[in-house]
Amino acid sequence: MRVFVPVSCRTEKCKKLGTKGTLVLVAGTKYCTVISGEGRFDLHCAAFKCSRCDGVMNAELEDYIGSGYWPGNPKTLGIFFTTSFLKLYFHLKNYLPGSSEYGLLKALGAFSADAGRENTISNAFSRASRMYYYITHLADRDIKQQRKQRLLKGVDMTKGETYSHTLLLLEHIYGLQDPEHANLLFKT
């Protein structure tokens, strides 16, 4: 049985026919390694097969990232780390300052060996985790900046809307609303 990385298709169109809804996820011919919180898994890369023309197209970087797999090297697509594992490492690093990357990777190797799988964890983890955190930081920063700019456009601070501005920010950013002062939120 060929086990493959489960990814969702970003394009949903056959490149040859251009028809939508004809692609089915299948195991590709290339192999890749996936590192998760359960250890190392050697799997087939994902591919999409058209049910009408039998054409096969390999999953692309965007398909893997959109499905929760972060590449160790975006050029070769040979090793992936699950984003849940990268988030786990981020929290371990922040809440357990004495923990080491080396120790975590050794523990993952032991999990894999206990399950009868290859126990060598790639040294691409350090680079991949730093890049993942950096990209996540940029995305968070941009989203917060866009929200702030959008909210500030609707508020005129010269008319004493400081309090209603604060409530508006709380409502949009944190999902909070003060029912007593809800009428101030959209004061004209």
pLDDT tens track of the chain, all 188 residues? 456 677 777 666 776 666 666 788 888 888 999 999 888 899 988 888 887 787 888 888 888 888 888 888 878 888 999 999 999 998 888 898 888 888 888 888 898 899 898 888 877 888 888 888 888 888 888 778 777 776 666 555 555 544 454 555 555 555 544 444 444 444 43
Asked if 115 and 108 touch (Cβ cutoff 8 Å), the reply is no
Asked if 185 and 172 touch (Cβ cutoff 8 Å), the reply is no
Q: Taking the CA atoms of the chain, what radius of gyration do you get in angstroms?
A: 23
Q: Please choose, from the candidates 139, 99, 107, 93, the residue with its C-alpha nearest in 3D space to the C-alpha of residue 36.
A: 107
Q: Per-residue pLDDT tens for 119-137?
A: 888 778 888 888 888 888 8
> Hey, what are 21's tokens?
């809804």
**CA quadruple 57, 61, 66, 70: dihedral sign:** positive
> Hey, what are 150's tokens?
């959008």
**CA–CA separation, 99 and 175 (whole Å):** 35
pTM for the full predicted model: 0.69
Q: Please choose, from the candidates 39, 76, 83, the residue with its C-alpha nearest in 3D space to the C-alpha of residue 58.
A: 76
Return the domain boundaries, the chain. Answer: 23-114, 125-177
**186: Cβ contacts below 8 Å, ≥ 6 apart:** 164
Task: Report residue 82 CA to chain centroid gap.
Answer: 8
